[in-house]
Structure 1
Amino acid sequence: MEWFKVVGFAMCVLVPTAHCASQSIAWCYHLPSCNDTTWPTLSSQYCNGTRQSPIDIVSASATPNDNLSEFTFVNYNDTSAMTSIENTGDTVKVTLKSGVKISGGDLSDQYDSLQFHLHWGNGSSVPGSEHTVDGKRYPMELHIVNSKSSYNRNTSLAVNDSTGLAALGFFIEVMPGSSTGQPQSWRSLTSYLANITQKGQKVSIAAGFSLDDLLVGVDRTKYYRYLGSLTTPACNEAVVWTVFKEPIKVSKDLIDLFSTTLHFNDSTSQLMTNVYRSLQPAQQVWTQSIKASTTTTCFSLSLLLLSLALGWSWS
């Protein structure tokens, strides 16, 4: 039975400080007996629920919401916020130290950022993001997992709250051109993969790059919002999802490292590929209202026309 992941609910996998129940759930991505088609049977309480993730986001159907304000990111610029990186047997998980937080973005509370992990397919040529937008699947997706600060990092409490967890999803796509080893922050992060090739291996991360560095180039004011679930068993329906519209751009060679370096178990086992859940039924999705940007555009156009008119009057 060493070939599958045994966890006491998904929060044990997703959140490093989880207080886990004794019940364990056997699940995997890569074998017929435990892949995501069997999760509704293996973990029937939530995995066959009505508020499941991930979903395909249809941009034209997203409902405008004026309350979707900018986020406040606390200590995302801290170059020592990432403490360790681990091969969990189904993903790469990076643990964050306490004091990293998010608020705003129409979230009901402040949330503690606990960890991030990634989902991918098979190299840059076989996409593996969990969410899709208008049917497009990106090569990878990064998830930052956050829990309400009022729960003091106790995820057993958070998963019983319909908005107890907040997940930030960032797509990752191939950087244009023939660049290699870019950006520097991702070269630093992926340099640790050679040390965690086997399940259970975990190493410390040296200070030197921040979460802001990893999210380079992304406009974090533009995003989609919906209410969903964890994307691994027990699929608890306790997640406020924020999926950012702009992807992180990473060079092809660094993306390919995930599917060519890591194994599901030991070094003789299958390489870790296609670690994402299939799409679930659609949910209502919200996004920022276009009213503000339209007003700005009209104002700029009015100024342009006025300046042209003044120019003609002086000629």
Structure 2
Amino acid sequence: MNRPLFLALVACTFISRARCASDAVEWCYHLSDCNDPNWPTIAPKYCNGSRQSPINIVSASATGDSGLTAFTFHNYSSTVALTKITNTGKTVKVTLASGVQVSGGKLSEAYDSLQFHLHWGNTSSMPGSEHTVDGKRYPMELHIVNSKSSYNGNTSQAITDSTGLAALGFFIEEMSGNATASPSSWHTLTSYLANITEAGHSVKMTPGISLDDLLAGVDRTSYYRYLGSLTTPTCNEAVVWTVFKEPIKVSKDLIDLFSSTVRIGNSTSAHMINVYRNVQPSQAVTTQLKSTASKASYSISFLSILGAIYSRI
């Protein structure tokens, strides 16, 4: 199966309303007859499954795993990798050029990075991230969708393999202070929204910003890991989820552009707001082991303090 067809199908199962072979479903975020409480009925094969996403991550319950090492991000610094931005009617999606990959981080092999999309609420005051941490919901969440490189675009294999897809989730949080139009990479990204206000609209992106630019400031060695699903119908349970602990910092004015610019249909339809699935039953979550060196340093420091106290008695 060629790459364009694979991209179309992944977009369909992950973030679109389009018809997808035998798994055709009609779903939405905004109407009571097709929003996420109805998805287990609309698409029962997977949306009613046992390892659904997103989830609330309880940080204290995450088990340490020494295998969760650093990732290698190939071509994430490329300023020509972001090729097209699209209003799907459900989200804003950016298509990535071929040759962008992620590996390491206890992934079983290299995965091709295909696209990223976003989830949000209704302005920064009404948060809309999909995952939550200790009950906290962030204003937005960015998902980079990846597929096992060995499948070469074979969607049939990818979505039936329990680890066929890998999703990298990044929270987006409001930047402190009175900053506007910041950071510059996000200012550039959001400048395209005015050209894709209606569902189905897409435009080519001019070379200039990279994935690294959009993820600047995030510690990509610190994350949570669990096995889950696509967060939109058909909710295939085929995703290795990585949710990074540090959020991307973006100014309030840019966050608010998503819910005030793009629409779910034509120019007279409602703005796209609250485009996220509610949390599903919890799954087993792992994270990095606490550094032994840090513990040793803490112990030595603590003993030094005790020694200083006793020497004064």
Is TM more than 0.5 here? yes
Q: The residue matched to 1:203 in structure 2 has which SS?
A: strand
For 1:43, give the aligned amino acid.
A
Give the aligned partner of residue 143 of structure 2: 143
For 1:116, give the aligned amino acid.
F
- CA distance in 2 between counterparts of 1:234 and 1:203 reads 27
Cα pair distance change 1:106/1:31, threshold 3 Å: same
- CA distance in 2 between counterparts of 1:296 and 1:213 reads 35
Give the aligned partner of residue 154 of structure 1: 154
Cα pair distance change 1:71/1:292, threshold 3 Å: farther
Give the aligned partner of residue 98 of structure 1: 98
Cα pair distance change 1:241/1:295, threshold 3 Å: same
Give the aligned partner of residue 124 of structure 1: 124
Moved over 6 A (4+): none
- Check whether the contact 1:11–1:20 (CA below 8 A) recurs between aligned residues: no
Q: The residue matched to 2:21 in structure 1 has which SS?
A: coil
- Check whether the contact 1:9–1:24 (CA below 8 A) recurs between aligned residues: no
Give the aligned partner of residue 5 of structure 1: none
- Check whether the contact 2:102–2:110 (CA below 8 A) recurs between aligned residues: yes
Give the aligned partner of residue 312 of structure 1: none
For 2:143, give the aligned amino acid.
H
CA RMSD of aligned residues (A): 2.4
Q: The residue matched to 1:256 in structure 2 has which SS?
A: helix
- CA distance in 2 between counterparts of 1:268 and 1:161 reads 41
- CA distance in 1 between counterparts of 2:276 and 2:139 reads 11
Q: Percent identity over the alignment? A: 66
Give the aligned partner of residue 111 of structure 1: 111
Stretches of structure 1 lacking an aligned partner (at least 5 in a row): 1-7, 310-315
- The structure whose residues are more often helix, as a share, is 2
Q: Which residues of 2 match residues 206-285 of structure 1 at below 5 A?
A: 206-285=206-285
Cα pair distance change 1:162/1:262, threshold 3 Å: same
- CA distance in 1 between counterparts of 2:213 and 2:300 reads 33
1:24 Cα deviation from its structure 2 partner = 1.3
1:21 Cα deviation from its structure 2 partner = 2.1
- CA distance in 2 between counterparts of 1:78 and 1:31 reads 39
- CA distance in 1 between counterparts of 2:41 and 2:85 reads 31
For 1:138, give the aligned amino acid.
Y
- CA distance in 2 between counterparts of 1:292 and 1:113 reads 33
- CA distance in 2 between counterparts of 1:233 and 1:262 reads 22
Cα pair distance change 1:293/1:176, threshold 3 Å: farther
Q: TM-score when scaled to structure 1?
A: 0.90
Query: Per-residue CA shift, 1:45-100, capped at 9, x if unaligned?
Result: 00010000000000000000010000000000000100000000000000000000
- CA distance in 2 between counterparts of 1:192 and 1:229 reads 29
- CA distance in 2 between counterparts of 1:204 and 1:301 reads 55
For 2:204, give the aligned amino acid.
S
Stretches of structure 2 lacking an aligned partner (at least 5 in a row): 1-7, 309-313
Q: Which residues of 2 match residues 293-312 of structure 1 at below 5 A?
A: 293-295=293-295, 297-298=297-298, 301=301
Q: TM-score when scaled to structure 2?
A: 0.91
